[in-house]
Chains A and B, each alone.
Chain A
Amino acid sequence: MKPKWPRVVYWIAGTVVALIGVAVARLPSGEFAESNRFLLLVSGTIIAFVGFYIITKGTGTDKDFED
């Protein structure tokens, strides 16, 4: 199946999503109780991995992405 958007879109979107994961996991960590901290860390990590997954969708040669 041909990718819908140009390769760079997947790369940028994936990177942004992964960084949102970092923000979820790290930024509020000091203000929350231990149990919430664990949840935030795990949620942030999962979001970061979704970002990696999106980046891999931008894999392929120029030919794969041509209309």
Chain B
Amino acid sequence: MSSDGEVLLAAENVKKYFPVRRGVVVQREVARVHAVDDVSFEIRRGETLGLVGESGCGKSTLGRCVVRLHDLTGGRIVFEGRDISRLSRRELRPLRRELQIVFQDPYASLNPRKRVGQIVGAPLRIHGLGDRGEIKRRVQELLEQVGLSPEHYNRFPHEFSGGQRQRIGVARALALSPKLIVADEPVSALDVSIQAQVLNLLEDLQEGFGLTYLFVAHDLGVVRQVSDRIAVMYLGKIVEVSPAEELYTRPIHPYTEALLSAVPIPDPVETVSRKRIVLTGDVPSAIEPPSGCRFHPRCRYATEICSTVEPPLVSYGGGHLAACHHPLNVESDTRTPGS
């Protein structure tokens, strides 16, 4: 774990609200979706921060905010000590070489009319890195690095399977030798055997090039496999941050506990013996999130305070933070105010 490494990127009180508009001619803003609501975290150089949560919790929005594919409603993104959250498009351009993203859907994220060489070479051309011959050589080298063959240069995306397409997406993200890659559900569209291939590839690349990842996913098994630290999101908030293994052995937030217990285990005996916490109800709307702790309507430990006072993210030592009035697996005297 590279927990003593320097901070590469910090998100400070990041907010992203999407307006809900009504009206045909005059579009009035009638409500706001609180997709990401006051979230702070740090990513250190060379580490993988996993970001997990269920659909609609804001994890992808947060990932996109980090690489400035979304403008922020509030808060700051600090990359290598520099606030990048208010930079203009032009000012952002050089930064795009440092921050790249791999998208979830390998079918939708590659232009079907372009050849692989054009797709992977596009970032190099845009940034004017080399002449045609140099770019071609670099692209072929990238294809090899992601486990494809240089002969694939002139093929079209439809000639590839899902796993291979995701490799093309990874090659494109790698083209500019970025420092940070946001991987937004990079394997969720793939079959399990292919998932393992792509996860292993991402780990090899990290080792080889010293990459830093923000790994966004909903699959707790996948996140555990790749992450050094993990942040759990629920309804626009980070509810727990922990060193990876500790999250699974000692969850502090009741939502994390329920999430872990809901993952099906491929072992018939164990699946019967383990205790499964079935949460009642659905995730509430992010337009009018519940008062106090956002998880309280579904939480089995909730008391009165949970519906009135929003719990802050508190440190429990060893880099383990959680936002809960009734933390699990802790002795109350280990609590210290959050950093």
User: Is B one of A's binding partners?
Assistant: no
Taking Cβ atoms with an 8 Å cutoff, the residues of B that contact A are none
